[in-house]
Structure 1
Amino acid sequence: MSKHRHAARRSPAGYRTSLPWRVITGAAQYIDRRIGWDRLPVVAGLLTLLGLRVRLRQKNLYGTSHLPAINQPEPAPSSASHQVNRTTDGSHNDLGEPRMGMAGTRFGRNIPLETIAPAAPEDVLSRPNPREVSRTLLSRDELVPAESVNSLVAAWLQFMVRDWFSHGTSPTDRPWEVPLMEDDPWPERPMKIMRAPVDPTRDPQAPADTPDTRVNVSSHWWDASQIYGRNEAEQHQLRTGELGKLRLWDDERPPVPADPSQDPTRVPGFWLGLAMMQDLFTREHNAICDHLHVAYPSWGDEELFQRARLVNAALLAKVHTVEWTPAVISHPTTVKALRANWWGLAGERVHKLFGRVSDSEVISGIPGGETDHYGVPYALTEEFVAVYRMHPLVRDDWHLRSVADDTTLRHCTLRDISGPEALKFLETTQRADLLYSFGTLPPGLVTLHNFPRFLQEFERPDGHLQDLAATDILRSRELGVPRYNEFRRLLRLKPAKSFTELAHDPAWAEQIEQLYDGDIEKVDLMVGLYAEKLPTGFAFSDTAFRIFILMASRRLNSDRFFTAYYTPEVYSKAGMAWIDDNSMVTVLLRHYPALRTSLSGLTNAFVPWHSAAREET
C-alpha cells in the first residue's frame, strides 16, 4: 500500500475507544444486523443508533486533503473578523486550518480510499448502461405519492443542496457516450453525458494509484451560501448596504449578471420551489435585521448583516434537523434521535429553562458543545452526495390553488415552473397561494418507477438535452461510489443475497435481476436504495439513512459556529433567542399570515397542511 493511503484516515485519538464503548458499538452492530434498530422499542432503538453513530465515526470518515495537491484555494489572511463572522467562501471556520471546508476544496469519503474504483469506461458504461437503467427501472408512469409529507420537502431539499455541494460546471469536451437501444426515442445518438469536472488541485506528479478526488465549488459548511453568495462579489451584489439587509426578488432584485452562468434562474435545477425558499429566507434575514436593529440600535450595516447571517444559517440548520428530517423519516425512534441532535435527550423544554445542563451532546445536544472533527479534517463526502440524489420527491404535475377557498388557480407542469419561468409565477401569483399549494400536495416517494418525467428529458439552459436519471446513475459510477451490495458491506450491513431480498416488490426484483443479467453485485447504489423496503415512516431507504446518522451530526459537530462559538457573545442574546423561538411554521406565518388557518395546530410545516376546502365544509 502506498504511503499516502496509510495517512488516508487519521484515527480519532481516544474517541470512544474504551472497553465500555467497544462493547456498546459491538452490541449495537450485532442487534442491528439481527433485529434492526427500527423494530426495537424507542429507548433500545436510540441506544442502538447511538452505538451505530459511534462506530460510523470510527470507521467511515476518510479525508482526502492530505493527498498530493497543487493550486489549492488560498484563504484570505487571518483577521479579527474571522473570529466572529462566517466568511463568504467558508475559510477560517477552523481557525487552526483556515482552508478546511472552504469552497474549492476536496470532497471527503465515507469509504476507504483504496476501495474507490477508477472511472474507467468499461465500468461507467457497463451493462446495463445508465440510460437502460433509467428507462427500465426509474421512469414514472404515475406519481407514487409520499402521503405523510407535503411538497415543501422537495423544495426545501434542493434549497439545502444549493448550499451544501456542487461539483461545478461540466466541461463540454470528451463527454461520456452512452449507447442506446434501437427503440430508444432519444433524439441524439449516442446519448452524451458531460463528465464531472476534474480536480484542479490534483498534482500531476502524484503516484498513479492516488485515489480519484473532486472538489466542491461550494463551501462544505452549513453556512447558507445559497442566500449569501459564495464569494465577496456575489455577496456585495446581494446586499442593499442599509441596515444589514438583502435585496428581494421583486422590489429590489439586483440586475441579471452579464455572465449567464451567474444568473440564478439559468443555473440548471432552478424552479419555483427553489425560488420560493430562496425568497422566504431572504425575507427572514431582513426580519432578523429589523429585530437586531431594535435590540442594538448602535449597530451599523456590517454588524447587522453578519449577526443576521449567523442567526439565519443556524435557523436553517435547526429547521432541517428537527423538522424536515423528522418529517421525511418519521419513525418514532428517529424523530426522538433527531430532536436530541439539537436539544439532547434532556429536551427542548429543559434547554429553554436552563440552557445546556451537560457537556455531553447526548444529554444537551450538539449546538453549544465541543467542536470535534473526529480526527479527520471536515468535508462533505461523495457518498453523502450520492444518497441525497432524491429527484423522485419532485412532482411532474402541479395544481396551484387559492389559500382562501382552495379554488383552482392553474394547472401546470414542472416544465412550466422551471428556469426563468419560475420568476413569472412569483410575480403573478400570491406567495401565500403558492406556499399553500405546495403545503397541500404530496411529493413523490423516493422509490423505483417514480423519477419525474420532465427530468428524464430535461433541456438545460445551454440547450443540451439531459436525462437526469441516467446522469445520476452514471455520476455515482464515475465518482467511484460503490455499487449497492459493496456499499452495504463497507457500512457493515448485510449485503442482499438475492434479488427478492434486495427489492421489497417481487415484480421489481424480477425486473432488476433481468436488467442486471442475474449479477446482484452489479446493481447500482441508487437502484438498491430505491428498491428497499422502507422502515415505518420513511420516505427514503434505511441504507441511505446510515450516511445521515454519520454526516447529519458531523456537519454540526465540526462547525465552530454551531459548537464552541454558538454563544450570545457571537450571535447576540437577541439572536440566540430568535433561533430558540422560531420554526418553519413561525417563519411562514411571519411573512404570510394568510396561511394561519392552513397551519393551525401543526408543529411541523412539512406534514400535510389543512385544506381550505375541508375547512369550509
Structure 2
Amino acid sequence: MKVESAKIAIPLLGVLLWVLSIHAGIFSDAGTLYLRLPFHGGPINKNAISSTANKPEVLNILNKITVGDLNDTVNFAENVIRFLKRLENNLLWSNIKVSDGTPSHGMLISFGPDKEALDRGKEALIALRATSQLMNTYCGKLSKASGHTMSSQECSKLLSRFSFHGTPLEGACIALESPCEKGQYQSDYRSINGSCNNLNKGHRGESFTGYSRLLYADYSDGVHELRRSVTKKPLPNARTIVSSLIKTDNKPSKKATLALLQWSQFLEHDLCRSATAVAIHTDSPIECCSQEGDNLSPRFMHPLCSPIYVYDDKKYAQEGVSCLSFVRSLPATRADCSFGPADQVNQATHYLDGSQIYGSTHRRSKQLRSFNGGKLATSQSESREYLPLSRDPTRDCQLFSANSTCFESGDARVNFQPQLALMHTIWYREHNRIADELSKLNSHWDDEKIFQETRRIVIAEMQKITYGEWMEMALGKTAQEHILATSYNSKTDSSVSNAFATSVMRSLKSLSDGMPKLYDEDRTVNESIFMRNYFHNPGLLRHRGVLDALTVGLATQPSQQLDIFYADDLINKLYTNGKFGFDVLSFDLQRGRDHGLPSYMKFRQLCGLKAANGFSDFLDDMTEEDVLALQQVYSNAQDVDLTIGGLLEKPKEHSIFGPTFYCIVADQMLRTRQGDRYFYDNYAQPKPFTRNQLKEIEKITLARILCDNTDNVKHMQKRVFEKVSTSNPLFECQSEASIPKLNLNHWQEDESNSVVSF
C-alpha cells in the first residue's frame, strides 16, 4: 500500500512556549481537572467538556444522587471484593504462585508493592468497583436524559464529580487533604516521603499518591477495562506488535555514551515506581501463567491478571511458551478523592530528591542509615565500600543462595543489572564522602544534622547533573535554557504524569546495549558481558576492578539510539530463568493500556502536532517504511499505542526524542523544577543555600562524581554523556581546574550555626 506524503513544520520554539505556558500544568481540585493545551486559549474544565453535563435533565439526575446512594455503591463494592477471598485461598491451595528465580519473580522484585501501597490500593480497588456500580445504575438514565447514547468515558466524567466524603472511603480523603503542621512546612530539610513540600496541599507529591494525567484516562468501560480499538475490537496483541515492528540490530549513537542510558534509568527510578497488584485478602503475589509459560485454566485466573498470550512467535515457540504473566498495577485514590476511572500509585516521591538512594518512607530510610556520623550503611569487600547487603537475597534478587551478593538501596530495582547497582554505589559513596568532610568541618554537628545536610547537598548535585547535563543531551540546549529560566511557582503541580512514567521513561530501554563492556583505564575493551546473565544478579560488581571497568564503560561505550531497535536480551530474555524470559516492550505496552493511557494520536494532538486522520498523516514525523509497518499491525491510526508512536518518531534536532516524547518530557522537567519548593536554587525555601554554596554546586558534573567515588579511575571527559572527542577530551581526575570539585569549606559553621566566611 502506498502512503501519501505530507509535510508540516512543528517549530521547536512553539512547543517550548506551550510547555512553558503550562505553569501549574495539572490542577485537580474538587473534581476539576484543568489542562492547558496548545490549540486552546485557556484551560478546559473536565466537567464542562461536554455540553451534555449542563442539560437540566442531566443535572436533575445528578443532583438527586445522595450520600446514601454513594454509600450503597461502596457497600456493594466491598461485598464484591470480599467474594474474592475464596478464589485467592483456592489459588494458594492449588499452588498457583510466583516461584523464586522465575521471570515472574524478576518482575515482582522490580514492581512489588510496599505495605503503604497495599493499604491505599485496597481502598482504591473498592472505589473502582463502586464507580462501576454507579455507572451501571445511572449511565442509562443519563443517556436518556441527554438525548444521545452516552459513552462510558463521558458518563465516568460526569460521575467523577462525586467525592468519597461521607462514605466509608472518607479516610482516603483525610489522607490526601489533611494539612501539615506549621513546623513541617518550615522544616529546613525536605521530608523523606515528599510530604509538606507544597504549601497549599501538603500531600501533593508524596510517595504512594497517584500519577497525574495529561489527558483523561482511556478505559473501554470508562473505569478500568483496557482500551480497545476505535472499531470496538481488542487492540493488537502486545507481543505481536513487538515481533512485527521491533528489530534487534545495533544502531549506536554517534554522540552519546551509555552513561546517558544509565542516568536516564537512575532519574526514572528517582521519580517513578509503579506497583503490581497482589492478592487482596492474602497479600500473596499473583501468577497469571504457569511456571513453564503455559496458559492457566480460567478457574485459576485472578481478576487482576491481564496476561500477554503468545501466538505464532518464533522465539517463544522454540521454548514452548504461550503465556507471559502480566499483573495489573495497583490503583491509587484519585487526587481529588473522587469516584471515577483508575489512576495508578507512584511508590516514589514525585520530586527529584534522591528517593532511589534514601528511600521514600521513614521506615526504609532508617534501614539504610548507619546512624554514625550522618553516613549511610554499607558493606565491605577488599577494603572497598559497597551498598548494604540484602537480608534475604533469594527474595530481593533472582538468586538461589542466601550467601549470594544482593544489594539494598532506596529502590528495589537497584539490582536490575550491574551498571544500575554501580550508579547506586557511586552515590552511596558520594554521600559518605561528603558526610566525612562535613563532620570534620563541623565537629559540633550530631548524626542527624550531618545526614540531613549531606542529603541536601547530594540531592542538589543530582538536580544539577539532571538539569545541567542530562537535559541538554535529552532535549537540547534551547529547551534547557528555557526551563532553567523559570523559577519556583507554588501553584505548579510537580506530580509525575502517567505518560512520562509509563511510556516515555520506559521507552529509554531502547538506549540499552545487550552486551555492556568492561574497559581498561586506556579505554580499550577488556571484556563483554551478556545482560541476560545479570538481571537481579549484581555480584559481579564486587569483583576486583569491575566497578572501575564498568564506570569507564559507561563513559566510553556508545549508547544505542532511541528507536524501535532493542537489545535481544530485553526483548526475549528479560528476567530469564535460563529457559525463557519476558519481553520488556510488550510489558510496557500492556502497562500503558493498564494505566489507561490514550492513544499516540491523542498525545500528538495534545502536543500541537497535526491531527492525523489516517496513517499517511504520520509521515510528517515518521519514515514511510515505519508508517507502512504500522499499517500492517494496527487496523486504525487512532489505535496506535503512545510508546510505539513515540519510538517511531524521527528525533528533533539536538534531542534524542521525537516531538511527542519531547513535549511530554519538557512538560515534566519544567513542572518537576517549578513545583519543588526545595529545589536547590530556590531562595524561597526555609533554608536556602548561600550564594557561595550555590556557586560550588554549579561546578558539579557527573565526571567529578565518578572521579571521586570510583576505586582507581584516573581520567574522565568533562561531559560524560558525550563520547571522548577533540572537543570533549580526557582530563586527569586530580585536575580540579579541568573537572571542578565541590569546596565544602563553604558549609563550615560555628557553634551558633552561622556560616563561617571565606
TM-score, normalised on structure 1? 0.77
Aligned residue in 1 for 2:19: 53
Residue type matched to 2:618 in 1?
L
Aligned residue in 2 for 1:256: 390
Aligned residue in 1 for 2:255: 148
Contact 1:62-1:112 at 8 Å conserved across structures? no
SS at match of 2:602: helix
- Does residue 216 of the first structure (1) align with residue 349 of the second (2)? no
Match of 2:428 among 279, 282, 288: 282
- Does residue 373 of the first structure (1) align with residue 515 of the second (2)? no
Residue 188 of structure 1: how far off its partner (Å): 3.3
Within a 5 Å distance, the mapping from 1:462-611 to structure 2 comes to 465-502=581-618, 504-517=622-635, 519-562=636-679, 564=682, 569-571=687-689, 575-592=693-710, 595-599=713-717, 602=718, 604-609=719-724
Contact 2:494-2:673 at 8 Å conserved across structures? no
Contact 2:571-2:583 at 8 Å conserved across structures? yes
SS at match of 1:176: coil
Q: 1:549 to 1:77 in 2, by over 3 A?
A: closer
Residue 259 of structure 1: how far off its partner (Å): 8.6
Contact 1:243-1:304 at 8 Å conserved across structures? yes
Within a 5 Å distance, the mapping from 1:153-552 to structure 2 comes to 153-171=260-278, 172=286, 173-174=302-303, 175-186=305-316, 187-199=320-332, 201=333, 207=339, 210-250=340-380, 251=385, 253-258=387-392, 265=407, 267=412, 270-329=416-475, 334-342=476-484, 344=485, 361=486, 366=487, 370-374=488-492, 377-385=493-501, 386-389=503-506, 390-403=508-521, 405-420=522-537, 422-459=538-575, 465-502=581-618, 504-517=622-635, 519-552=636-669
Q: Is 485-494 or 475-484 further displaced after alignment?
A: 485-494
Match of 1:120 among 206, 216, 225: 225
Contact 2:389-2:407 at 8 Å conserved across structures? no
Structure 2: segments with no counterpart, 5+ residues: 1-6, 32-159, 279-285, 287-301, 398-405, 731-758
Q: Is 551-560 or 289-298 further displaced after alignment?
A: 289-298
Residue type matched to 1:63 in 2?
S
CA distance in 1, matches of 2:517, 2:455: 34
Residue 323 of structure 1: how far off its partner (Å): 0.3
Residue 430 of structure 1: how far off its partner (Å): 4.0
Contact 1:447-1:540 at 8 Å conserved across structures? no
Residue type matched to 1:52 in 2?
W
Aligned residue in 1 for 2:57: none
Match of 2:196 among 92, 99, 102: 92
Q: 1:144 to 1:253 in 2, by over 3 A?
A: closer
Percent of paired sites with the same residue: 20
SS at match of 1:240: coil
Contact 1:295-1:574 at 8 Å conserved across structures? no
SS at match of 2:325: strand
Q: Is 277-286 or 287-296 further displaced after alignment?
A: 287-296
Residue type matched to 1:277 in 2?
M
Residue 294 of structure 1: how far off its partner (Å): 4.1
Whose radius of gyration is greater, 1 or 2?
2
Residue type matched to 1:371 in 2?
N
Contact 2:573-2:580 at 8 Å conserved across structures? no
CA distance in 2, matches of 1:65, 1:265: 43
SS at match of 2:331: coil
Post-superposition CA distance 1:290-323 (Å, at most 9, x none): 3433443321111111111111112111101110
Match of 1:63 among 28, 48, 63: 28
Q: 1:240 to 1:169 in 2, by over 3 A?
A: same
Residue type matched to 2:472 in 1?
P
Contact 1:146-1:539 at 8 Å conserved across structures? no
CA distance in 1, matches of 2:255, 2:379: 31
Q: 1:150 to 1:463 in 2, by over 3 A?
A: same
CA distance in 2, matches of 1:461, 1:315: 38
Residue 130 of structure 1: how far off its partner (Å): 0.5
Match of 1:129 among 237, 243, 248: 237
CA distance in 2, matches of 1:144, 1:91: 42
Aligned residue in 1 for 2:210: 106
Contact 1:485-1:495 at 8 Å conserved across structures? yes
Residue 255 of structure 1: how far off its partner (Å): 4.1
CA distance in 2, matches of 1:252, 1:528: 40
Contact 1:148-1:608 at 8 Å conserved across structures? yes
Contact 1:163-1:226 at 8 Å conserved across structures? yes
Residue 606 of structure 1: how far off its partner (Å): 0.6
CA distance in 2, matches of 1:54, 1:305: 35
Residue type matched to 2:566 in 1?
N
SS at match of 1:440: coil
Q: 1:491 to 1:129 in 2, by over 3 A?
A: same
Q: 1:569 to 1:399 in 2, by over 3 A?
A: closer
Q: 1:65 to 1:316 in 2, by over 3 A?
A: farther
Residue 590 of structure 1: how far off its partner (Å): 2.3
Residue type matched to 1:510 in 2?
L
Q: Is 221-230 or 532-541 further displaced after alignment?
A: 532-541
Contact 2:532-2:573 at 8 Å conserved across structures? no
Q: Is 551-560 or 227-236 further displaced after alignment?
A: 227-236
Residue type matched to 2:195 in 1?
S
SS at match of 1:149: strand
Residue type matched to 1:338 in 2?
Q
Aligned residue in 1 for 2:297: none
CA distance in 2, matches of 1:223, 1:311: 11
CA distance in 2, matches of 1:92, 1:463: 48
Residue 115 of structure 1: how far off its partner (Å): 8.8
Residue type matched to 1:486 in 2?
K
Residue 164 of structure 1: how far off its partner (Å): 0.8
SS at match of 1:247: coil
Aligned positions, number: 531
CA distance in 1, matches of 2:30, 2:592: 21
Q: Is 483-492 or 271-280 further displaced after alignment?
A: 483-492
SS at match of 1:147: strand
Q: 1:408 to 1:320 in 2, by over 3 A?
A: same
SS at match of 1:415: helix
Aligned residue in 2 for 1:24: none
Contact 1:311-1:578 at 8 Å conserved across structures? no
Residue 335 of structure 1: how far off its partner (Å): 0.8
Q: 1:457 to 1:312 in 2, by over 3 A?
A: same
Post-superposition CA distance 1:5-52 (Å, at most 9, x none): xxxxxxxxxxxxxxxxxxxxxxxxxxxx964324xxxxxx4xx45522
SS at match of 2:256: coil
CA distance in 2, matches of 1:454, 1:383: 21
Residue type matched to 2:609 in 1?
L
Post-superposition CA distance 1:383-411 (Å, at most 9, x none): 111221221111101221211x3444322
Contact 2:209-2:346 at 8 Å conserved across structures? yes
Residue type matched to 2:181 in 1?
S
CA distance in 2, matches of 1:416, 1:190: 22
SS at match of 1:63: strand
Match of 1:80 among 163, 183, 190: 183
Contact 2:540-2:546 at 8 Å conserved across structures? no
SS at match of 1:409: strand
SS at match of 1:148: strand
CA distance in 1, matches of 2:534, 2:307: 30
